[in-house]
Structure 1
Amino acid sequence: MSAIIASPAPDPSRRWVDRKYFLWLLSAAVPVIVCLSLATFTWLSRRWGIHGWTELALWLLPFLIYVVVPMGDMVFGDDRSNPPEEAMAALEASFYYRALLFAYTPVQYVVTIWCAWIVTSQALDVFGYAGAVLAAGGVNGLGINTAHELGHKAEAIDRWVSRLTLAPSAYGHFYVEHNRGHHLHVATPEDPASARMGESLWEFLPRTVWGSLVSAWRLERRRLNNHGCRAWSVRNQILQSWSMTILLFGSVTTAFGWPALLFLIVQALYAISLLETVNYLEHYGLARRRLPNGRYEPCRPVHSWNSSHVVSNLLLYHLQRHSDHHAHPRRRYQTLRHFDESPQLPAGYATMIVLAYVPPLWRRVMDRRVAAHYGGDLDRAAIKPGRRSVVEAGLDRGA
């Protein structure tokens, strides 16, 4: 299925076809698919009671994320084609692509509230409870990516929807830190969201979560001080975003009781872990050189790991074309381009997330790729302090 984008080039007969036009529905459809799984569970449990096999319906989303999408990437491979320059303006102007982002948020809220109702009203065992956490947290984790896409845009409505989308994951400060911190400091020691070679995911997670929070507050305090305001102000964008979370969590807790609050916190932690795991793999081991003037070299395509695997790119709004995103943060997802000079991941993000959960496997696959990217010169890579000998030993064993 495809749509035709008219070209503004002098020859009006020239047309470019977006062959993924309707396939972009995949990401927006994720919370709808989860709603169907929740409806299935509700129907089965009322008819047959709560059993392990009825609770399987709650596990549809993790099955899609960890099994179906990686298999889809293997089967359908990658897509390195880019829209022609003459089609970019029309692509950017098409409201269809933007509407898919807006459609995600209301259904995301439905999933979050529905899962909270299920865990507080049904006699779930640990298996069922975990399924509900992964369903809500998975939708909200993917929602952070939707918020990421909207948060970069100039339109005020896009930015407000971005912050609404972050509320169920309780990660509203991401709006500040990512836009004004990560994009400035990426692939440097100043960026808490850039992972270092030899650093496991489990070491990275507490460092990036705390570091991003501290960085976001520092950035927002500085912005407000420059405008003559105190940090603790109604104009503080972090406090505004956290207020949305408090309102949502408070309303759900009032409706379903205190167990709902525990559920909301646990699913938010899982959502945050999905985001930060993606951060872990996006810049692992990559470094920008410090110039003689003390500044870092400009961010270029070589400073982001990329993947053009088609299924996971459809799921994540081309997030895997990460180099172009860093070069042009306001470029909409449908126009992001593949760069051959960017370092390429061996698989899509869904597969790499699973790999990152197992540090020895991750290091075996990725450390040699980092080393190859720098022609074997590890002085050019970002290595976790104190880990160089361990990294070198691992590379020698894998040689």
Structure 2
Amino acid sequence: MREAPAKAPILVANAGSSSLKIRIFDSSGATLFTGVAAEIGGTSQLVLRGQSRTAALADHAGALSALLDAARADGFDPATLGAAAHRVVHGGPDLTASCELTPDVLARARAAAALAPLHNPPALAVIAAIGRAWPNLRQVACFDTAFHATIPEIGWRYALPDLPETRGIRRYGFHGLSYASLAARLPSASGVQLPRRLLAAHLGNGASLCAILDGRSAATTMGYSPLGGLTMGTRTGEIDGNAVLDLARRVGIERAAQILNRESGLKGLGGASDMRVLERAETAKATFALDHFVHWAVHHAGAMIADMGGCDAVVFTGGIGENSARVRAGILDGLAYMGLAYDAENNAAGARRLDRPGSPIMALIHPADEESWIAEEARRLISHAA
């Protein structure tokens, strides 16, 4: 017999363009099962309990089936699920909060797929696969763009004419689930009240900054797509529109997209997209790539701070933000004009302070955990609607 939805386990699915990660949480928030399918459609891998093995995974529906089979083998019965919750990268201009997947919401999410062609279709494929397997299971979508719905129009609108051809081309912002989780959880994790003017840095293979003013997004560095803003693992970050047009004329649109999204950033400058590899390499190219990452993070931080009218705290999250003391030190050194005194010896992750006592600006680390936040959002929605 299925448990009441508010108490039953929740499956969280995080679908990438060629990957799928699932986590199953019980009602207390503890993880019951974790599994990852990678390189879907190619030389696929299943990663379970830290061990990887090859698998034939033609598409995301097949990957979901394989992961659920692994969950069964691990002793979990998917029939006991109370809901499934999904990270959907793009909600478009209309879906600005997490919501239960009704037919209308699903239609809007499909319409937004054109704005995130690498990410929304896989999420929608997983949603459809779960719907076929359990037609009565409630499903929730949590949108990476939703947290940035509070950015004022003057901040999200490009200076484009209002034409049919330009509609929908605007700044949306991403990493919203990470920032929403951070804003909600930082006070209890750090023991300090949420700073009024918080500069949040989600630094990983994808990287962005967010100006969080009074707990709400006031500005962010990513724009129409996750390509804009900071130097990233394989993405260029900020680049002039005419340079993009010129590159597309030279090599074609598809090849230009490949270069801009998958061959640039740290990989293009230093030969590797992994910051850990670059830090170990200590070659001139690797050092330049690392310095480029830091420089443009500091550069864009100035704009975020200006949009808030100052800064009371800086918080780092994401794989690089949590684990690279060298990057954190470089960024904080670049922000030293604000009076921040950085304590290089205090580098442990876990909502820890990095600044010295008496510094007018706090610096903290906060671990990212988007999946558990998605589970919380889903449970809130289901409990409220019950």
Same fold, TM-score > 0.5, yes or no? no
Normalised by the size of structure 1, how large is the TM-score? 0.29
Normalised by the size of structure 2, how large is the TM-score? 0.30
Higher helix share: 1
Higher strand share: 2
